Amino acid sequence: MHSTLSFSQATTVPRSNYAFDSHSPAFALSKPINLRFCGLRREAFGFSYLTQSCSSRVRFSSRGHSKKISASTGTNGTPPKSFDYDLIIIGAGVGGHGAALHAVEKGLKTAIVEGDVVGGTCVNRGCVPSKALLAVSGRLRELQSEHHMKALGLQVSAAGYDRQGVADHANNLASKIRSNLTNSMKALGVDILTGFGTIWGPQKVKYGKVGFPDNIVTAKDIIIATGSIPFVPKGIEVDGKTVITSDHALKLEYVPDWIAIVGSGYIGLEFSDVYTALGSEVTFIEALDQLMPGFDPEIGKLAQRVLINPRKIDYHTGVFATKITPARDGKPVIIELTDAKTKEPKDTLEVDAALIATGRAPFTNGLGLDNINVVTQRGFVPVDERMRVIDANGNLVPHLYCIGDANGKMMLAHAASAQGISVVEQVTGRDHVLSHLSIPAACFTHPEISMVGLTEPQAREKGEKEGFEVSVAKTSFKANTKALAENEGEGLAKLLYRSDNGEILGVHIFGLHAADLIHEASNAIALGTRIQDIKFAVHAHPTLSEVLDELFKSAKVKAPASSSPVASRNLVSLGDISRHNSHPKRRNILEEFTHTLMMVVLEIFYSFVFWFMSSCCHM
């Protein structure tokens, strides 16, 4: 195996559970050292690439993992003895991109296979262009609100929009981000293999374009990151013009006077925000008995009062759209509704357009999973908590992982990226299990909705099973100075926690910039920070972050604050900081510079060692 060492990557000295097979003695340090030039890429300093031709395979110790690993070979023989790459990723969406960049940082020779365009759903047909449309809808809604403008002392003439200009803004943003992702991978030496990728056998990937010969490449490890496509229920005929999915809606080819949106989850809510701001009337069709079923019930009720009731939106709940016929021959779109419980016909709607926002389905057809004895479950690739693929016999498929929407654990772009990074940590020797309860989610309506962890019903169910009491704390945006200055006092933050030990179970926010505010809570959950400790964190005033500050301070926790050295060392006053910086025996700027310089010298030293090893191998 040939691997590439580059000064453009952060050099990681292996931990003691790495084993290096080379012609020189193995070496290891007890702690990994990640060396960087203060965030600057090494290309800025003109360093060149060095090639290490010695075999330096990293072996991962799987001690403590109880799942049996079985080599499920199919019709394409045994695993290869040497590999073209350390890691091949099938799918260049946000998950695949995040995994590729982390793999390069870890020193892995990496390739990514993409049959469509780099960026996947998120960049090209999802989060990125939708945020461009939502940015327009937010600005337009604000300018059209005479009451809001008057409260700020502003006078604005009639606000309007150019449909093509709005569509171009979304398309241009997607193109720019797609170009950035492509260039970032190329700059770091990731090989982009163009074509549809399939699993050809153990540690083998076949890829190619229609009409061209296929190519087969091998890799020590493979990650499936093929994402998802819009899910369209049976009986719905999509023509891409009057009956559309989110893929079509993001092109904004026209703005209908009246549009029905099937599904009131994240996708449906965001598009209702866009369409109503642009002048459309919206009708929600929801199979469950309430709108926004995936949200915390209290937050959902408040959001309905603000985002649904005052706008040109009506809704039908507890019904299925069993048949939708596109507009043709001068007739409108016809939607037949059926009662979700009795399955009896209930109503018929005639609208100008219908948007199908019933979720997404994994894109795993044709992946060649049968070659390795893997059977999908409703299209999802079965994996364990470490994203390792499980075959039809319940055994782990060696060196094969699946991340993102294709595994169905959490269908969010940033979750896919986090899963990819977790996999790379594992294949480079560090066991890592991602906590999905710490991954935040957001709906970019105006105002926004965000959440992390459990909803209140989920938390109370967990409390009953495990025998602890769930407490709730709340704070309003009406008490926040910055929100009032923006004339955006409508909002609520809600905390679910254990009063006995201060564990954060969930946080839900509805209000201005909720999507940005949630990360303090998600990071606290990820790091295991308890409420009694986070209460001492200081927030700038006046900022929206004080909504979370007040939320944590209002919680009543019985357990005392941590007395650990880390906590006490970080709790210093401004006077302490001044004395700390002036004390001759304390670390100062010179010591920081010396520390950074030592890191640079170490990076150069280890690079020289690798170069010397390479020279020996060529002799």
Residues tagged active-site = 541
State the Cα–Cα distance between residues 236 and 323, nearest whole angstrom: 5
Sequence-distant (≥ 6) Cβ neighbours of residue 134 within 8 angstroms: 270, 273, 274, 444, 445, 446
Is the peptide bond between 584 and the residue preceding it cis, with omega within 30 degrees of 0? no
- 583: buried, middle or exposed (CB in 10 Å: 19+, 13-18, 0-12)? exposed
Task: Quote the Cα angle for 537-542-547, to 5°.
Answer: 60
Euclidean distance between CA atoms 374 and 381, whole angstroms: 8
CA 119, CA 176: separation in Å to the nearest integer?
A: 11
Edge-to-edge strand order for the sheet containing 319-325? 319-325, 333-339, 345-351
Q: Which residues contact 489 (CB under 8 A, 6 or more apart)?
A: 476, 477, 478, 480, 483
Question: Rounded to the nearest 5°, which phi and psi values hold at 58?
Answer: -95, 125
- The letter for the amino acid at 282 is V
What is the rounded CA–CA span in Å between residue 471 and residue 464?
13
Q: Which contiguous run of DSSP H or E holds residue 277?
A: helix 266-277
Contact 507, 453 (CB under 8 A): yes
Rg of the chain, C-alpha, whole Å: 27
**Residues 6 or more apart whose Cβ sits within 8 Å of residue 169:** 132, 133, 135, 136
Q: How far is CA 544 from CA 497, 518, 547, in A?
A: 22, 11, 6
- Token pair, residue 523, equals 């990071």
The answer to whether 246 and 357 have CB atoms below 8 angstroms apart is: yes
Nearest to 205 by CA among 80, 375, 121, 387: 80
CB 156 within 8 A of CB 143: yes
Cβ(406)–Cβ(228) under 8 Å?
A: yes
Are 396 and 384 in contact by the 8 Å Cβ rule? The answer is: yes
H/E stretch holding 517 reads helix 514-527
Q: Is the dihedral of CA 508, 509, 514, 518 positive or negative?
A: negative
